[in-house]
Structure 1
Amino acid sequence: MTDRPTLAERWDRRVAALAASRLPLGTWSVLVLAGVAALVCAMVPVGPDWLGAAGAVVIASAYSWALAARTGGRAVVFGTLAALIGTAAVVIDLDELRTGAAVLTCSVSAVLGVMATKPAVTFLRTVRECVIAVLIAGVGALATVGFEPAIAVTRFEYATLGLAVVGAFAVVFRLGAGLHGLGRRGLVIVVIGGLVLALLLAYAELLRRYGTNDLVSSLLDLVRWSRDHLGAFPRPIVAILGIPALAYGCHMRARRRQGWWVCAFGAAATAAVASSLANPTISRTESLLSLVYGLLIGLVLGFVLIRLDLFFTGSRGRRSRGAEEAAALRPEPPRTAPLL
């Protein structure tokens, strides 16, 4: 006589069967589309006043669920918790709660944008992964302003950037087998990326507080010229660090595990995108153009980094690059599957 499965075993089988089906992904997609539709209607504006807040809660919950599922966590727990926090912030309607919910939504969106990428064998696939990360963060930007936070723009940007970068590195620490998975090449790249991030932040802060009038004036003239003739000015942290790191990291992940450490710096770009609409002094059109310009410049720099990497590893000609791409077969789970 065979033993009957226990209640826990039957529950585990049902959960596994549900995970193997397309129902969770389909439900998640419908929720995200509904949330985006509500947020867009609130921006137009069309419909009742509560659409923006409702859309923000839906996106925050769906993104928290997706990030937990992607990183091997308890998706139902974190998704429900995010829904409760967002709902409480909207119902109680305190500035502190709304701002806190906006910060968490912005940070989760930024980390999810990085974690949702896949290894890229060719540069065209690298472009696709960067665009997907930016689009995910862009939806997070709509949800962030949907909470109507009361913020000081500079502090909000620093807080979300810090949380996003720390969160990305915390996940990558697990994905990359800890510091042992860095290797010499990965350690050099992380040090360089950290220095670039620190220099960009320090330079911006020193320029804002202590810069000479002539230097500030010349830089502002450049920004004004770009806004007058191009419609916007690209954000340096997106164009110089975030997008190049994400592009080069996706390229490396198809070949070496250290690529995840490079991708973590991509959170600098996705965090900037997710917080881009929180600045009331910049129009939505200018924010969009600034994002496009930063993405294009970052992809050019990423292309240069990839070609330099191939050059120094011996893949200099077209045939050599073709052979290198054919051998770049480091596996990773699909985009909708857990990484851990």
Structure 2
Amino acid sequence: MPAPVTELPRRVTIRVQEVAASPWPVRAAAVGVLVGFGCLVAAMVPVGPDWLSSTGAILVATVYSWALAAREGGRPVVFGTLALAVGVTAVWLDHDLVRTGAAVLTAAVAAVLGVMITVPTKGYWASAREATVALVVAAVGALASIGFEPAISVERYEWVALALALIGVFTVVFRLGAGFHGLGRRGLVVVGIGALVLVVTLFYAEMLRRYGALGLVDDLLRAVRWSRENLGAFPRPISAILGVPALVYGCYLRGRRRQGWWVCAFGVAATAPTATALGNPAIAVSEALTSIGYGLLVGVLLGWVLIRVDRLVTGSGRNGNGNGGGRRRVTPASETAPPEPPRTAALL
């Protein structure tokens, strides 16, 4: 006997949910990234034919665009296909402008995906793990962006990628963080401090170079040279001071208050420089990776300090449920963070 008409929409909805929850798209994406990463590494060695670099770049860019759209609750098939078309067109036309555009877009997508793929945490080590995951995702994107063989001005390349990543991540976070009204007073203070640190860090070196005292500039450059000669690299200040601490503290905060996503948004100050770390031909790959590692180490330590200060201020214990003796602060319902889905599920 055929099913009643009223039951058909319900059955169709259940079937769509089953397809969306299937692990096969995630597995296929993981395989695509691994294959693309292998092609890019082989091209850097170099081993194999010349087309491995372009093929790896197209694979990673396509999968990353698909994953970012899926994570944001958008249309992964549409954006994944669009990224594939852009990558293939860039390689086929073999024009510097088109290849450079594909490289910048890939770096920006990797930077935003690195932030979006993180999950809320409860402790110090879990927060450090999420910052590491974000930088690893961005580092693979750095390989992919260089795989397009762009003709770039290093400073312009880094600035454009960072600007696009900031626009992208704050557009999504505006929805995840319940808009500006979801910030609250404390959130406004935290975001204001983050924005101030971002601006100061970005323009500090340029201001020193143009208007600063010559002796101070020489001292700073001397410290950078000493670190590169004796430690192998020097961490990017914007990543170590702002980006990584924002990821560590933001992931911790996301499990407790809505403002956590606004803090995490400043994590692009770490993922964007990581995604463009290989764009400077004057810096070896080993030095670029070492610099990322140093930035991660310093940033995690600063992030732990922020978590500790937050616990002291709010009176929360190890699990955020009180310290057993101090005054406990009750978080308003309007600021309480809703539970987030797993890493491989859509946020919206």
Confirm or deny that 1:334 pairs with 2:335. no
Matches of 2:22 and 2:324, distance apart in 1: 37
Q: How does 1:55-94 map to 2 (within 5 A)?
A: 55-94=56-95
Distance, in Å, in 2 between the alignment partners of 1:19 and 1:160 is: 31
Post-superposition Cα deviations, 1:96-154, rounded to whole Å, max 9, x if no partner, equal: 00000001000000000000000010111101101100110010011010011111101
> Which SS does the other structure have where 1:80 is aligned?
helix
Give the Å deviation of 1:18.
2.2
The yes-or-no answer on 1:266 pairing with 2:267 is yes
Alpha-carbon distance in 2 for matches of 1:317, 1:93: 55
Instruction: Give the aligned residue type for 2:117.
Output: A
What is the SS of the residue equivalent to 1:277? Answer: coil
Q: Is 2:180 the counterpart of 1:172?
A: no
Secondary structure of 1:276's partner? coil
Task: Supply the distance in 2 between the matched residues of 1:296 and 1:315 (Cα, whole angstroms).
Answer: 25
C-alpha distance in structure 1 between counterparts of 2:12 and 2:43, whole Å:
41
One-letter amino acid of the structure 2 residue matched with residue 258 of structure 1: Q
| Partner-residue secondary structure (3-state), 1:177 | coil
CA distance in 1, matches of 2:180, 2:203: 26
Residue type at the aligned position of 2:42: C
For 2:45 and 2:78, the matched residues in 1 are separated by 33
3-state SS in 2 of match to 1:339: coil
In the alignment, structure 1 segments of 5+ residues that lack a partner are none
Residue 32 of structure 2 corresponds to 31
**Which structure 2 residues correspond to residues 1-340 of structure 1 after superposition, within 5 A?**
2-3=3-4, 15-315=16-316, 320-321=322-323, 331-340=339-348
Say if 1:335 and 1:321 are closer, same or farther in 2 by CA, change over 3 A. farther
Q: Percent identity?
A: 59
Residues in 2 aligned to 1:175 and 1:291: alpha-carbon distance in whole angstroms = 28
Superimposed CA distance per residue, residues 169-221 of structure 1 (whole angstroms, 9 cap, x where no aligned partner): 10000101111111111111111100000011111221233333322211110
Native 8 Å contact 2:257 2:337 kept in 1 = no
**TM-score under structure 1 normalisation?**
0.94
Displacement of 1:55: 0.4
Q: How far apart are the structure 2 equivalents of 1:291 and 1:35?
A: 21
1: distance between equivalents of 2:317 and 2:344? Answer: 35
User: Could you say what the CA RMSD is over the residues aligned between the two structures, in angstroms?
Assistant: 2.4
Distance 1:206 1:44 in 2: 39
User: 1:184–1:7: structure 2 CA closer, same or farther, 3 Å change rule?
Assistant: same
Measured at CA, do residues 310 and 214 of structure 1 come closer, stay the same or move farther in structure 2, by a change above 3 Å? Answer: same
Q: Is the 8 A contact 2:110 2:275 kept in 1?
A: yes
Secondary structure of residue in 2 paired with 1:112:
helix
Q: Is the 8 A contact 2:243 2:299 kept in 1?
A: yes
Counterpart amino acid of 1:229?
Answer: N
Q: Which amino acid aligns with 2:107?
A: C
Q: Which residue type is aligned with residue 335 of structure 1?
A: R
Q: Deviations over 1:223-250 (max 9, x none)?
A: 0110111010010000000000111100
The one-letter code sitting in structure 2 at the alignment partner of 1:164 is A
Q: 1:13 to 1:249 in 2, by over 3 A?
A: same
- Residue type at the aligned position of 1:178: G
| Distance in 1 of aligned mates of 2:43 and 2:152 | 20
What amino acid is the match of 2:274?
Answer: V
Contact residue 18 and residue 24 of structure 1 kept, 8 A: no
Question: In 2, distance between residues paired with 1:315 and 1:195?
Answer: 27
The one-character-per-residue Cα deviations of 1:58-80 (angstroms, maximum 9, x if unpaired) are 10000000000000100000000
Moved more, 4-13 or 47-56: 4-13
What amino acid does structure 1 have at the position aligned with 2:126?
A: R
Query: How many corresponding residue pairs?
Result: 338
- Indicate how the Cα distance of structure 1 residues 11 and 316 shifts in structure 2: closer, same or farther if over 3 A, else same: closer
Letter in 2 for 1:332: E
SS of the residue 1:198 aligns to: helix
Structure number with higher helix proportion: 1
